[in-house]
Structure 1
Amino acid sequence: MKHERCHLENKWEEADKLLTDLLNIKSVNGRDDEGQVALFLKAYFESFGISSEIQKIDEKHSNFVTHIPGRDHSRHILMNGHMDTVPYGDLDKWNTDPGTAVLDPEGRVFARGASDMKSGLAMLSYAIAHVAEKGTPAFDITFAATCDEEKGGLGANVFSESKLLPKVTEILIGEPTYLNLGIAQKGCLWLELSFEGITGHGAYPEKGLNAIEEGMRVASLLKAAVQKESNPVLGHATAQVTKIEGGVAPNMTPDRCVLLMDIRMVPGQTKEDVLRCLSEILKDRNKIDPRLICHYEVKNERVSVEIGRDARLTKDLKHILERQGEEPEYTGISYFTDGSAILKALPDAGVLLFGPGDPELCHQANECVELEKYHKAIEVLMEFISNGK
């Protein structure tokens, strides 16, 4: 695949073409070959004379990585974006083909991934390539486009465990923030709870131990404990039962129940805190009825992420946005990003989210991005990469 560069009359024609080209490469998680996006990016950067590497994981998954030295080697920023999208959903709810970029008269581009987050990926690619072509960036840059973010974070995990990840000082992720500064994101804990009770005749519930009722009681107590914690930007932590299995027949007391809980933790709240709460709840329940048995398994863990308002990266982007006439807000997101996976390898690096996409449109039918926001995001990022502040 070769990316042809040409001289274009419209200032933003090349940037818009980059965006639509990325959107037209189908990269639905679990269905398509996300490596095609990585190959496209490699060709794009090669057209600027910038070398890069494809980190192949399997037949459908690859990462794209490039390293660009800057003037200040004491500052090294990892810029990251993911290449995959979620499925299209109900096609009848779309006004356009979600697999093809469509520009409307109001300057919006519609397609799956327009906001989440191929506009952010295009922003990073365009800004990095153009600044590097004209001169030397203000700081060292590693740009990593990762796969499988929407499901298991395979790309970020493999990248973080490889030699391709240097010791960076800061991390900037192009997730949709609508030009605001994403300074916090909730962590995630998927917890499977397996309860064992005592079966019996449905007419004599007092002789058995209802595993479903006990499981829901424990889940309710854990939810209440988890949701006491809060964050000024993110609000309260959340917890909910998202899946339940149990029971044999209408006239039998269930002796088995398996619950899956989706717990979203705020910064300062950890997996260990949640499991400690669970242990205390189970001890209290066993005092009431020692026959109850509960086993748990952590199915997924993503740490919460937070960067200070006074952090260098936050202040630099804020000042540039304000100089360019924007009034950015400090925001947070309740879902996790690849930042939480990368932080396992670099726990001291601050993570800031900044991108042109609208977080309200993520995973929705008729997902789109405003070209005005996309262009402004590129201008902000190019100034940052060029001058460092």
Structure 2
Amino acid sequence: MRKNKETIPSAESALAILQQLIRIRTNHTEGYEMDAVKYISSILPHKTELSIIDHGNNRGSMIVEVKGRIPDKKIAIFSYLDTVKNIGINRWEHPPFSADYVNGVVHGKGAANMKGGVTSAILAMMTLSKTSPPPLSVLACFTADGTGDGLGAIEITEKGYLKGVVEAIFTNATKEKIGISQKGALWTKVEVTGTTSYSASPSSGTNAVEALILFCQHLRKAVVGQKNRKHLLLGLPSCTITQFNSGEGEVNQIPPYAVATIDIRFMPYQDPESIISLHNEIAGELSKTYGGINVKIEVLKIQNSVYIPENSTMVKRFSNTLLSMNKKSVLTGLNIFGDAAHVIPRTGVPFLIYGPGEYSSAINEKVSLKSVISVANVLVKYIQSYDTNF
């Protein structure tokens, strides 16, 4: 392997960092991000300033700062440390925590989501700390719970660590495209209670399963809407049943109970509170159609949708940086959620999402080492050429 650029750590170093991060298990359901925090703090140059946040139960976040020529004006880079829960471990082509390196690609749990992006941020901070001070200060925020409720991002934002930040970059996997929009997420649980009877006399009971299926159909139609609402980068909103259960009734019984969880990914133009109201409206209509049923709705999660105009100053400047490096400048949108959903609504700063790899399946994750190093180079170039007059 050869150095990508003189200022960026070698490909060997980048590979070693990424492999070690994958081998540190930071499964979202268990946390353990503090193990990754300790590792990252051990490899960063002494010129960086570290602030470690202990969330308890071995969960942690960290802010790394490189002082710039204008120290009170800052740009923040966000990368979360946790990975999604273990799914289909026995179906992986490469063991999920082996971090195998084959033909330029690193395989393993969190390789794309998003330890590749974490590695890019680490490489960028290593480089910026060893060169002359950048035009403005740089914060790398390595966060806990990015795939969950944003514990790290929220605490970093609400406790004042982002004072002076004028822009934010999130290194989620975008396949090196510029992410300018991200769907929001609303998770709900819907329980329907009816009355049982023998299925030989269905009119004697109130079928909770049929009522819940009808509820979900009406909700999907209301949320997804007409095709002329299709977003250029995000496509259409989605409304997906992820769990469905009707208890342990017999084949010859009308089910008196049914419950479903629903994952809604909504657009920047949609309001989650309005979607919650749709739930209640549909529940009311069903109660009239099906006499004797009761519908209970519980909101499990709300993640904000975020968006920045493609003609914004930050997006234009970032695009020009890519073009100056003979790289393509392509815009994209993300269906997933992450730290941007917590940081941007609380700060209102300009932002974009740019990272190595792409989201695919929860199994067989992989990321190109070349892409990890390329993203680090882009971050360094963008920051070093930053015009503080903007």
TM-based fold match above 0.5: yes
Are the structure 2 counterparts of residues 277 and 165 from structure 1 closer, same or farther at C-alpha, using a change threshold of 3 Å?
same
Matched, 1:212 2:209: yes
Task: Check conservation: 1:119, 1:374, Cα contact below 8 A.
Answer: yes
Matched, 1:256 2:257: yes
Single out whichever of 327-336 and 163-172 deviates more from structure 2. 163-172
Report the counterpart of residue 15 of structure 1 in structure 2: 14
Three-state SS of the structure 2 residue aligned to 1:183 is strand
The equivalences for 1:311-326 within 5 A come to: 311-326=312-327
Deviations 1:4-23 (A, max 9, x none): xxx99984333333333323
Report the counterpart of residue 376 of structure 2 in structure 1: 378
Report the counterpart of residue 220 of structure 2 in structure 1: 223
Are the structure 2 counterparts of residues 276 and 387 from structure 1 closer, same or farther at C-alpha, using a change threshold of 3 Å?
same
CA distance in 1 between partners of 2:101 and 2:214 (Å): 51
CA distance in 1 between partners of 2:78 and 2:308 (Å): 16
Are the structure 2 counterparts of residues 168 and 290 from structure 1 closer, same or farther at C-alpha, using a change threshold of 3 Å?
farther
So what's the TM-score if we normalise by structure 1?
Answer: 0.88
Report the counterpart of residue 171 of structure 2 in structure 1: 174
CA distance in 1 between partners of 2:186 and 2:369 (Å): 36
CA distance in 2 between partners of 1:11 and 1:141 (Å): 22
Counterpart residue identity of residue 342, structure 1: V
Task: Check conservation: 1:78, 1:171, Cα contact below 8 A.
Answer: yes
CA distance in 1 between partners of 2:100 and 2:41 (Å): 25
TM superposition shift of 1:163: 3.3
CA distance in 1 between partners of 2:92 and 2:278 (Å): 44
Counterpart residue identity of residue 235, structure 2: G
CA distance in 2 between partners of 1:275 and 1:10 (Å): 49
Report the counterpart of residue 122 of structure 1 in structure 2: 119
Three-state SS of the structure 1 residue aligned to 2:180 is strand
Report the counterpart of residue 327 of structure 1 in structure 2: 328
So what's the TM-score if we normalise by structure 2?
Answer: 0.88
Give the CA RMSD over aligned residues.
2.6
Deviations 1:84-139 (A, max 9, x none): 223554455444333233322x3222222222211211111211232133222222
Counterpart residue identity of residue 242, structure 1: T
CA distance in 2 between partners of 1:19 and 1:322 (Å): 27
The equivalences for 1:1-389 within 5 A come to: 11-31=10-30, 33-45=32-44, 47-72=45-70, 75-87=73-85, 89-104=87-102, 106-166=103-163, 168-228=165-225, 229-247=229-247, 248-346=249-347, 348-360=348-360, 363-365=362-364, 367-388=365-386
TM superposition shift of 1:370: 1.6
Task: Check conservation: 1:55, 1:63, Cα contact below 8 A.
Answer: yes
Task: Check conservation: 2:180, 2:333, Cα contact below 8 A.
Answer: yes
Are the structure 2 counterparts of residues 114 and 124 from structure 1 closer, same or farther at C-alpha, using a change threshold of 3 Å?
same
Deviations 1:14-60 (A, max 9, x none): 33333333233332333462211101222223x23212011011122
Task: Check conservation: 1:48, 1:133, Cα contact below 8 A.
Answer: no
Structure 1 segments of 4 or more deviating over 6 A? 7-10
Task: Check conservation: 2:9, 2:127, Cα contact below 8 A.
Answer: no
CA distance in 1 between partners of 2:200 and 2:386 (Å): 73
Are the structure 2 counterparts of residues 294 and 32 from structure 1 closer, same or farther at C-alpha, using a change threshold of 3 Å?
closer
Percentage of matched positions with identical amino acids: 24
CA distance in 2 between partners of 1:9 and 1:377 (Å): 11
Are the structure 2 counterparts of residues 335 and 9 from structure 1 closer, same or farther at C-alpha, using a change threshold of 3 Å?
closer
Counterpart residue identity of residue 343, structure 1: I
Task: Check conservation: 2:8, 2:127, Cα contact below 8 A.
Answer: no
Three-state SS of the structure 2 residue aligned to 1:356 is coil
Task: Check conservation: 1:72, 1:140, Cα contact below 8 A.
Answer: yes
Report the counterpart of residue 4 of structure 1 in structure 2: none
CA distance in 1 between partners of 2:199 and 2:338 (Å): 46
Three-state SS of the structure 1 residue aligned to 2:165 is coil
Are the structure 2 counterparts of residues 286 and 114 from structure 1 closer, same or farther at C-alpha, using a change threshold of 3 Å?
closer
CA distance in 2 between partners of 1:124 and 1:10 (Å): 12
Counterpart residue identity of residue 230, structure 1: K
Are the structure 2 counterparts of residues 96 and 17 from structure 1 closer, same or farther at C-alpha, using a change threshold of 3 Å?
same
Are the structure 2 counterparts of residues 372 and 234 from structure 1 closer, same or farther at C-alpha, using a change threshold of 3 Å?
same
Three-state SS of the structure 2 residue aligned to 1:84 is coil
CA distance in 1 between partners of 2:306 and 2:138 (Å): 21
TM superposition shift of 1:181: 0.7
Are the structure 2 counterparts of residues 33 and 277 from structure 1 closer, same or farther at C-alpha, using a change threshold of 3 Å?
closer
